[in-house]
Amino acid sequence: MEQNEIFHKRFRLKKLIGRGAFAEVWLAVDNYSNIDVALKIFVPKQDIGDYGKRLLASEFAVVANLSHENLLRPLYYDNCDGKPYLVLPYCERGSCVKMMGKMSEYEAWNLLKDVASGLAYLHSHKPKPIIHQDVKPDNILIGSNGQYMLSDFGVSDQTLMSAQKGNEDQPAMEAGISSYRGPEFYSKDKVSLKASDIYSLGATMYELLTGELPFGELGGLMQVHGCEVPDLPRHFSERLNYVVKSCLDKDTWQRPTAEILERWALSEGFDIPQFSRKVEYDNPTIYESHKTYDNNYYIEHHEPRYEEQPKRRTGLWVTIISSVVVATCVAIVLLMTQDKEKPSDNFIDDYQSTSITKSGVADESEKEEPSSSTQKENTTKQSNKIEDIYESDSYKDFEKHKNKGRQQGRSKKNNDSELLDNFERNRTEREKIMKDEKNYNTNRIIDLDKGES
């Protein structure tokens, strides 16, 4: 097709406006009405056949009756020499492509409001929602009054690609521009949802504000591999940054609906709870919870991600209880380990005070030689002393201590056994000394008797 060519015996081609993978868009003059129109002529590499023509016609029949100020509705559909084409109103101001990287925040809120309003209208269509599938700067046109309008909804390149396959079971939502696709497209099912349009709008907004796509040409595939959504440059408000990042959320359930986006844009982000303006008495405005998406288009009353969760004080109670338990354990240990008077000490003292050494007895005997009756009396006293030791409270305490030591542990038991051995050894020595002393005294008496005789 060339400039000034007459297309389908009716439209004179004036200028090529744009070209895509499957279609060309021309500024043309309708010779019947002498008005400028935009012709979108599909030029696929292969003939789409009768099935493709029926599919495009059915798609046009759906959108032909739509009416919304932010939707550029097609006027006419026909075929010329096997080439389907659409007739659309001509927007002299063109698309948003020329604003890429130059858009201000004020214009961004206006664009978001208009495009979200158009998407909300499509998504609420009955009996079946219409999913645009191809939201991008090329398909957002600027009207004569400065409003932004969505074009190419319903009848788009995705529909033509499905028509080329010639398979009536193939969904018409499979193809698209990868740069603006969400991560859900790279799942096993490769489905397009309402939330997919929201993701494409978020990528479009990011590109218009920064001049770059958020994830390059790979789009949501980067998020599948763990890439995080980048922030807008710092000269944009935190509210706008939050809205764009919400649209690009990896989880389709967490993206706002088109209705919510329109409401946020109308208030320039102050309708978002965490950015809400304070009203009288410093009470924040309370907003109803919004709808979020699932694979069946949406589900109500899903908890929004931005809702502030109640703060839990579990850690404080755990700290208090732990402190009380530790303090109690320390007190018990101190009570159990405090110094106590040992029974064995008293017994040892008593034993030492009553112990008799062999040398001591010998010394006394050398100093003074007792008489026979005195020797007998001393022997009786010594025997009584030994018996008193066994009957004393100290020895009884020692026996108790010994029994208790057996129960308390091996180390204490060994100490008690050693003490008892020492006691038995000393007792044996005392008995031996007393026996020797007795024999000595007896022999001495005999010697005395012999002497007297």
Paired tokens of 239: 């509210």
Selected residue with higher pLDDT from 163 and 105: 105
Model-wide pTM > 0.75: no
* CA–CA separation, 88 and 36 (whole Å): 10
Q: 79 in helix, strand or coil?
A: strand
* CA atoms of 181 and 200, how far apart (whole Å): 6
Distance CA 251, CA 184 (A): 8
Residue 29 scores a pLDDT above 50: yes
- pLDDT classification of 299: cutoffs 50, 70, 90: very low
Give the model confidence (pLDDT) of 361-415 as tens digits.
444 444 445 556 666 666 666 666 666 666 666 677 777 777 776 666 666 666 6
DSSP letters, 387-430, are HHHHHSHHHHHHHHHHHHHHHH-HHHHHHHHHHHHHHHHHHHHH
Residue 149, pLDDT > 90, answer yes
Judged against a pLDDT cut of 90, whether residue 258 lies above it is answered with yes
Report the pLDDT averaged over residues 284-298: 41
Q: Which domains does the chain have, with CATH numbers?
A: 6-282 (1.10.510.10), 318-452 (no CATH)
User: Which burial class, exposed, middle or buried, applies to 98 when counting CB atoms under 10 A from its CB (0-12, 13-18, 19+)?
Assistant: exposed
| Tokens 């402190």, located at residue | 323
Does 290 score more than 60 pLDDT? no
Say which residue the tokens 């696709």 belong to: 181
Helices assigned H by DSSP within 271-409:
314-337, 343-354, 358-367, 372-391, 393-408
Q: Which residues neighbour 374 within 8 Å (Cβ) at sequence distance 6 or greater?
A: none
Residue 365's pLDDT is what? 45
Gap between the Cα atoms of 243 and 272, Å rounded: 9
Q: Could you give the dihedral angle defined by the CA atoms of residues 153, 157, 163 and 164, in that order, rounded to the nearest 10 degrees?
A: 180
Instruction: Work out the mean pLDDT of the chain and round it to a whole number.
Output: 77
Query: Two tokens at 238?
Result: 């935190």
Q: How far apart are CA 197 and CA 202, in angstroms?
A: 9
SS3 89: strand
Q: How far apart are CA 349 and CA 341, in angstroms?
A: 13
